[in-house]
């Protein structure tokens, strides 16, 4: 048996096609959605992610506005940039690219975002709304990776209601909000949120119908941890250097042998990453639509 591949590139592309129609509708009402990005410093990974987000915007007709600050930027500089993004007419939603360089207090900066423009769903108000479970047309933005994971499972019709989900990792952008999302009414999964102090992680994972690995430890999740037929989502990614070629290789948290045991598997790259980006666009479109209500 070999797993059905959860194709993030194809699924993100389907999501983007739907968004193009909604952007066209918004523009017909005189609303031009615009994504702002705030990048601090010169980390090459962060630079390439931000560049990707601007390309995605162009694909669906969203304008994009870019603020890049040097690594030497002070917290006062970052605050000023956030203030500009909050007041800019063209920016209907924006993100602060994480991680910020050392010395900046990320949580304090996230709190300065206007919650109505929070394209990442990481402002405390929006995380609070995730806990409160406010849904419907006026629903608040969801963190992009958790939203992308759920969207990917939905589109492949992987059952979630009543299923056992084991999330590995409790970080702000993936594990912690994903646990909250999966246990909301409508999704109704039973979630175990594991982390570095979890005793006997393999035994926890063996119970799971759905496994989400979001820690950034290359090939942590082994084939003999997986219940046959389970859905496995590989989220964490590490750039390893091949000792032979000297080239960087992207390596996920899931060992390749898992494909022989799992029922569904998201590859990495080309799995959850593209879905994360599509959900960012979706948050920007939704925020713009909310201004019409
Ligand atoms: N405020 C903020 N919001 C984020 O959502 C956020 C962030 N900061 N900081 C960094 C992480 C990481 N992240 C990724 C998104 C897409 C891919 C992605 O599309 N990856 C491609 C491969 C890209 C490559 O080649 O490196 C793939 O999986 O196929 C990866 C990583 C969003 N993050």
What is the predicted ipTM? 0.91
Angle between helices 144-155 and 272-290 (to 10 degrees): 110
Q: Of all protein residues, whose CA lies closest to atom 30 belonging to ligand 1?
A: 273
Please give the torsion angle defined by the CA atoms of residues 10, 16, 21 and 23, in that order, rounded to the nearest 10 degrees.
Answer: 180
Q: Is 143 in the pocket of ligand 1 (CB under 6 A)?
A: no
User: Of these residues, 16, 56, 97, 234, which one is catalytic?
Assistant: 97
* DSSP alpha helix (H) spans, 29-163: 44-60, 75-87, 106-110, 124-132, 144-155
pLDDT at 137 over 80: no
Reading the block at residue 240, the tokens are 């390893």
Reading the block at residue 7, the tokens are 């194709």
Q: Is 270 in the pocket of ligand 1 (CB under 6 A)?
A: yes
Confidence of residue 65 (pLDDT cuts 50, 70, 90): very high
Confidence of residue 1 (pLDDT cuts 50, 70, 90): confident
Q: Is 119 in the pocket of ligand 1 (CB under 6 A)?
A: no
Confidence of residue 293 (pLDDT cuts 50, 70, 90): confident
Prediction pTM value? 0.95
Ramachandran sector of residue 192 (left: φ over 0; alpha: ψ -120 to 50; beta: rest) = beta
Residue with the two structure tokens 């849904």: 135
Closest among 231, 183, 226 to 205, alpha carbons compared: 226
**What distance in Å separates the CA atoms of residue 14 and residue 26, rounded to the nearest whole number?**
19
> pLDDT by residue (tens digit) across 138-171?
579 999 999 999 999 999 999 999 999 999 999 9
Residues at the binding site for NADP(+) are 169-171, 237
- Going through 229-280 in order, the beta strands assigned E by DSSP cover 231-234, 237-241, 248-252, 264-266
């Amino acid at each position: 048996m070999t797993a059905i591949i959860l194709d993030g590139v194809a699924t993100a592309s389907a999501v983007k096609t739907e968004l193009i129609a909604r952007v066209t509708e918004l523009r017909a009402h005189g609303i031009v959605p615009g994504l702002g990005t705030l990048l601090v410093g010169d980390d090459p990974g962060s630079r390439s992610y931000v560049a990707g987000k601007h390309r995605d915007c162009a694909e669906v007709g969203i304008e994009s506005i870019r603020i890049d600050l040097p690594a030497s930027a002070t917290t006062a500089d970052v605050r000023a940039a956030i203030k500009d993004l909050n007041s800019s007419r063209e920016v209907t939603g924006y993100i602060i690219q994480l991680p910020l360089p050392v010395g900046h207090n990320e949580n304090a900066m996230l709190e300065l975002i206007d919650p109505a423009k929070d394209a990442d769903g990481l402002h405390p108000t929006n995380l609070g709304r995730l806990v409160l479970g406010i849904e419907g047309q006026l629903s608040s933005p969801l963190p992009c990776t958790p939203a992308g994971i759920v969207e990917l499972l939905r589109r492949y019709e992987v059952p979630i209601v009543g299923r056992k989900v084991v999330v590995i990792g409790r970080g702000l952008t993936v594990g912690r909000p994903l646990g909250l999302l999966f246990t909301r009414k409508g999704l109704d999964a039973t979630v175990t949120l594991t982390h570095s102090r979890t005793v006997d992680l393999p035994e926890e994972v063996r119970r799971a119908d759905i496994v989400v690995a979001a820690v950034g430890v290359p090939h942590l999740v082994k084939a003999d941890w997986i219940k046959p037929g389970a859905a496995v989502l590989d989220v964490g990614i590490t750039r390893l250097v091949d000792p032979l070629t000297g080239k960087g290789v992207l390596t996920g948290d899931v060992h390749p042998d898992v494909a022989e045991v799992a029922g569904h598997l998201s590859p990495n790259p080309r799995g959850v990453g593209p879905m994360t980006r599509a959900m960012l666009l979706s948050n920007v479109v939704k925020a713009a639509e909310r201004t019409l209500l």
